[in-house]
Structure 1
Amino acid sequence: MKFKNYLLLITAVVMALVLAACGGSGDSSEDAAAGESASGASSEASEEDTELDGSVVIDGSGTVYPLMARLAEEYMTNEQPQVSVEVSRAGTSAGFERFLAEDGTDFNDASRPIKDEELAKAEELGFEPLEMKMALDGLTIVINPENDWAAELTEQEVKDIFLADSGITTWSDVNPEWPDEEITKVGPNENHGTYEFFYENILEEQDIDPNANLQQEYSTLVNLVAEDKNAIGFFGFGYYDSNQDKLEAVDVDFGEGPVEPSLETIAEDGPYANFTRPVFTYLNPDMAKKKAQVYDYAVYVMNHVNEFAGETGFAPIPEEEVQAQLEEIEALN
C-alpha cells in the first residue's frame, strides 16, 4: 500500500512538471508573439511617422517664382502640411545676397547661373551651392495689342531698339513705314537675372538705353506695356503666357524666318534657342543636412518640377537630367 502511494506521488510530481513545462512554453510563445506584434506595430508607426515641420526659406528670381510658388503650394497641401515653404522674389542677384549671408536662405532661385564671385562668397561661408536646373525659359519680347506693325522683328532689330548707342528712339527709326512715335522701352532692373541675361547674351554686354524704364516688379512691366500703344518690353515667357489678354508676343527672326515663342520652340536646340535659357534653384547643402524638411523639399522639387513646368510657362528639362540631379540631392542624406 505504501509502495502504491509512493508510485501515485511520483506520477503526480511528473505530471505537475510536465504541465508546468507546457504552461511555461505556452506563456513564452504568447510573450514572443506579443513582442513580435509590438515590434511590428513600432516599425509600422516608424514608417508612417514621416510628418515634418519647420520652414523652408526661398528667395531669388521673379522669373522662377511662379514655378517655385506652385511647387511650394502643392508640397504644403499634399505632402507636408506642417512645413511652411516661404517663397520670395527679390530677384536673382538680390536673392543671392540673402542666400550668401550668415543664416542665409535655404534656396535661391536664379534665372542665370551663379557667378564666380558668388561661388567665392559661398566658399568663404564654408559651403558649395548645389545647382538644381529646373526648366527652360524663353526671353519674350512683348508689345501692346494695338501695335499692329512690330509683331515681327529680327534679332538685330530687337537689339537695336534697346541699345544705348543705336540711335533708335521712334518706331520709324526701325522701319520708315512705321509710326513716327517715340518707343517706350521697359524691362526688369539690375536685381534680376533676366536683365543680366538680356545685357550679357542678347546685347552682348553693350549698354542698354539709359532711357529704358527698368522696374523691380514684373506686374508693373506688364501694366506699362498693356497701357501704352508704343511700349515694348522683355521678360520670361511665363509672364507673357499668363497675361495674353493684355500683351502680344513678338515673333523673332533669327535668320530663318520669324519664330513665335512657345513651349514647343523654347528648347536648347530649338528654333528659339538664341533667346532660350535654363533657370535654376540653388540649394545650400548644409541646410539640407541639418533640416529634414529642406532635404525633403529638394527631393520633392526635382520629382515634380516637370509636372508643373508647362502650366507656369516653362519648357520641361529631359528626364535623364532630372534623375541625375535627384541622385546628387539624395547623396546628401
Structure 2
Amino acid sequence: MKSWKFVMASTILGSSVLLGACGGNTAQQGNSGETQLSGSVSGDGSSTVAPILEGIVEEYAGVQPNVQVTVGVSGTGGGFEKFKQGATDFTNASRPIKEEEAKSLEEAGIDYTEFLLAYDGLTVVVSKENDWVEDLTVEDLKKLWVEDGTTKKWSDINPEWPDEEVVFYSPGSDSGTFDYFNEVILEEEDLVKSATLSEDDNVLVQGIQADPNAIGFFGFAYYAANEDTLKAVKIGGIEPTHDTIASGEYSPLSRPLFLYAKNESAQDEVVYDFLEYTLENAGEMAEAVGYVAPPEEEHDKELKELETLKQ
C-alpha cells in the first residue's frame, strides 16, 4: 500500500491548493525514462471532497512537479456553476448532480462523466463541553433545525437538558452537504433563520468548538480531524464511524462523494494523467483523511470508464 507523505491536518485546514507551475500542457521524457508532463489542471466544488483532492494534489506534485493543479472550494453548487461556465476541468460534489444542473450543462454543450470517489457520513457535532447531548433521532434533528418561528432551546428536545438557546452552524446553501441535509432531515422545509452559514467547514468547526450550546454538521473527515474538541452525536443510536458508514448502518446520513470530469478536458494528456492518478489513489486518500474507500470492483470500473474518454 502506498505510504502517504501527506499530513491530514494540513489538508483539512486548507481551503484550496495550488501546486506546480507551468504554461501550456506539454510532455517530455525525464532522466529516469518516465514521461514528465507540463501544463495545468483546474477543479472546484465541494468542501467535503476537498480533503481527498488536496491530499492527492500534494502527492501528485511529487510525481509531476511541472503540472499546476488548482482545487477551489466554492461548494458543490458553486462548483457546478464554474463547471458550466467552462472554468474548470472537473468539479467535486458531495451529492449527485441535480436534474437542473445536468440540463444547464447540456445547454452549455458540456459533456461530463461522473466518478465515485468515496463514501462519507454527514456528521452532527457539538462541543466537547456539551455534556448532555449524546444521541438524537431524525425527528429530533428536524425539530431543532426546521424554522418554525420559535426560539429553539435544548430543553425543547429533553426537559432535563439546559433551558438555553441552541446555536446553529450549517454549511452554506451552495454546499452539497446542505442539500443532502435538506433532503433527508429537513425534507425541503426552511432551515432555522438563526443559523450561521459558511461554505468553509473550518469556520463551522471553530464556531462549534467555542460554544457548548452550538450544534452543526459537516463531512466525517472534519470531525475526525477535530475529535479532541468536538463530539459526534449518535443518530438513532448509531455513531458515525468508518464501519457504520461503510456498511450503510449510519443511515440516513451516509452518502457517496463524486468527481465530475469534463469529457473534452479528459482528452488532454495532462488532465487525463491527473484524473487517472486521482482515481487510482482516491480510495487510499479517502481512508487517510477519514472517509471510506469504495469497493475494489468499483475502483476498476471507474478507471475503465475514464479510459473510454481518452483519444
* TM-score normalised by the chain length of structure 2: 0.87
CA RMSD across the alignment:
1.8
SS of the equivalent of 2:227 reads: coil
Within a 5 Å distance, the mapping from 1:164-179 to structure 2 comes to 164-165=147-148, 167=150, 169-179=152-162
Query: Which of 166, 175, 180 is the equivalent residue of 1:197?
Result: 180
- TM-superposed CA distance for 1:302, in Å, is 1.1
What is the CA deviation profile of residues 236-268 of structure 1, one whole-angstrom value per residue up to 9, with x for unaligned ones?
Answer: 111111011221110111xxxx1111111103x
CA–CA separation in structure 2 for the residues paired with 1:166 and 1:279: 34
SS in 1 for 2:120: strand
**Quick one: structure 1 residues 238 and 119, their matched pair in 2 at CA, closer, same or farther if it must change by over 3 Å?**
same
The 3-state SS of whatever aligns with 1:62 is coil
**Correspondent of 1:288 among 266, 290, 307:** 266
1-structure distance, mates of 2:188, 2:175: 15
CA contact (8 A) 1:58 1:107 kept: yes
Structure 2 distance, partners of 1:95, 1:168, is 34
2:225 to 236, 242, 262: 242
Q: Note if contact 2:30-2:36 (Cα within 8 Å) is conserved in structure 1.
A: no
Amino acid at match of 2:49: V
Matching of residues 35-114 of structure 1 within 5 Å: 48=33, 50-77=35-62, 79-101=63-85, 103-114=86-97
1:138-153 matched pairs, under 5 angstroms = 138-153=121-136
In structure 1, the partner of 2:169 is 186
Q: Which of residues 214, 222, 226 in structure 2 aligns to 1:231?
A: 214
**In 2, distance between residues paired with 1:140 and 1:314?**
11
Give 3-state SS (helix, strand or coil) of 1:120's partner: helix
Give CA-to-partner distance per residue, 1:152-198, whole Å, 9 cap, x none.
11221122110112856111111001110000011111011100110
**C-alpha separation between the residues in 2 aligned to 1:105 and 1:200?**
27
Residue 276 of structure 2 aligns with which residue?
Answer: 299
- Aligned-pair CA distance for 1:80: 1.1
Contact in 1 for aligned 2:151/2:165 (Cα 8 Å): no
Deviations, residues 225-245 of structure 1 (Å, cap 9, x unaligned): 011110000111111110112
Q: Which segment drifts farther, 134-143 or 208-217?
A: 208-217
Q: What amino acid is aligned across from residue 116 of structure 1 in structure 2?
A: E
Distance 1:123 1:178, change over 3 A: same
Q: Secondary structure at the match of 1:187?
A: strand
Choose 123-132 or 196-205, whichever is displaced more: 123-132
User: For residues 49 and 174 of structure 1, what CA distance do their matches in structure 2 show?
Assistant: 61
Which residue identity does 1:89 align to in structure 2?
V
Q: 1:113-155: per-residue Cα shift (whole Å, max 9, x none)?
A: 1112221222223232110110001010000111111111122
Using the alignment, how far apart are the partners of 2:154 and 2:102 within structure 1? Answer: 42
The CA deviation at 1:270 is 2.4
Per the alignment, residue 307 of structure 2 pairs with 330
- The structure whose residues are more often helix, as a share, is 1
Is the CA contact 1:119–1:129 (under 8 Å) kept in the aligned structure 2? no
Contact 1:56 1:84 in 2 (8 A): yes
Match of 1:278 in 2: 256
Counterpart-to-counterpart distance in 1, 2:149 and 2:220:
26
**Correspondence for 1:214:** 197
Check conservation: 2:84, 2:110, Cα contact below 8 A.
Answer: no
- Give the AA of the match of 1:261: P
Distance in structure 2 (CA, Å) of the matches to 1:209 and 1:132: 33
Structure 2 vs 1, CA of residues 312 and 49 (structure 1 numbering), >3 Å: closer, same or farther? Answer: closer
The separation in 2 between residues aligned to 1:274 and 1:208, in whole angstroms, is: 18
Q: Which runs of 5+ in 2 are unaligned?
A: 1-28
Whole-Å separation in 2 of the counterparts to 1:49 and 1:318 = 30
Residues in 2 aligned to 1:243 and 1:182: alpha-carbon distance in whole angstroms: 24
Shift of 1:96: 0.8
Q: Distance in 1 between matches of 2:254 and 2:34?
A: 43
Aligned residues: 282
The 3-state SS of whatever aligns with 1:273 is: coil
- Alpha-carbon deviation of 1:106? 0.4
The aligned residue for residue 14 of structure 2 is none
Higher strand fraction (1 or 2): 2
Amino acid in the other structure paired with 1:312:
V
Return structure 1 stretches of 4+ with deviation > 6 angstroms: 44-47
Point out the more displaced range, 220-229 or 199-208: 199-208
AA of the residue aligned to 1:155: V
Contact in 2 for aligned 1:160/1:166 (Cα 8 Å)? no
Structure 1 residues not aligned, in runs of 5+: 1-43
Letter in 2 for 1:140: T
